[in-house]
Amino acid sequence: MRSCCKVGEVANRYQVTAPAGFDTINDCLVARWRGDQQSPETGLRPLADWFNKQLLKAVYLRQDRVQIDSQVESDYQILSSGEHTGSEWDELLRDLAQDRIDGEAVATDFVSSSTLHRHLKNCVGATKDVDPDRSDWERDRIAFISDWAKTNLCGVLSSLDTKGQLHGAGDVTVNLSFFLQCPECGRKISLRQALSQGYICQEHLPEEGGV
């Protein structure tokens, strides 16, 4: 894969290879995204997670670190959590360092769903027909908006830090959450929880057949 953007650059640098049945990692990404070549259709967020775990496996292979799937999954959850503090984070970094792996640098090289989306559309030229009756496009769009907002906010904070208007802002960890508010009672709930339970406010659910 040529170094067209961050996805291409890290794929080349870490030598991320395509699974059996695909000529290139791009072919695999497009097939998974579209659901082609007997691959299950995959949303952008889980597809970015899959790519990042392939990247992590490539690092482990290069450093002769055990690549058991359950361990890779556990390590990835910690590295991608955004919580770059705490005992789990510190313990994992020390463990990776024993295998000559800079865990913090690897975490920085993980790609977001919005970055992957731009790569698929702009670099690879891939398109995807959206079927609103069966696809999970709404959650993909939410993930895209969240990643876009986080990236732009980090840029603003870094600029404020450089200007001396908000000292230390360039080094903070940014976590974004969206909240919804019931128009009747004002109760607030996170978008993630609302999606999980299927409603915003149980006391003010729309009447059946209502708008």
Q: Is the dihedral of CA 90, 97, 99, 18 positive or negative?
A: positive
- Number of domains forming the structure of the chain: 1
Burial tier of 132 (Cβ tally within 10 Å: 0-12, 13-18, 19+): exposed
Distance CA 164, CA 38 (A): 53
Answer yes or no: is 136 within a domain: no
Answer yes or no: is 202 within a domain: no
- Structural domain range at position 120: 6-130
Answer yes or no: is 41 within a domain: yes
Q: What is the pTM of this model?
A: 0.66
Answer yes or no: is 33 within a domain: yes
Residues 165-199 pLDDT 10s: 898 888 887 778 889 998 888 889 988 888 888 88
Residues 42-78 pLDDT 10s: 888 899 999 999 999 999 999 999 888 889 999 999 9
Answer yes or no: is 149 within a domain: no
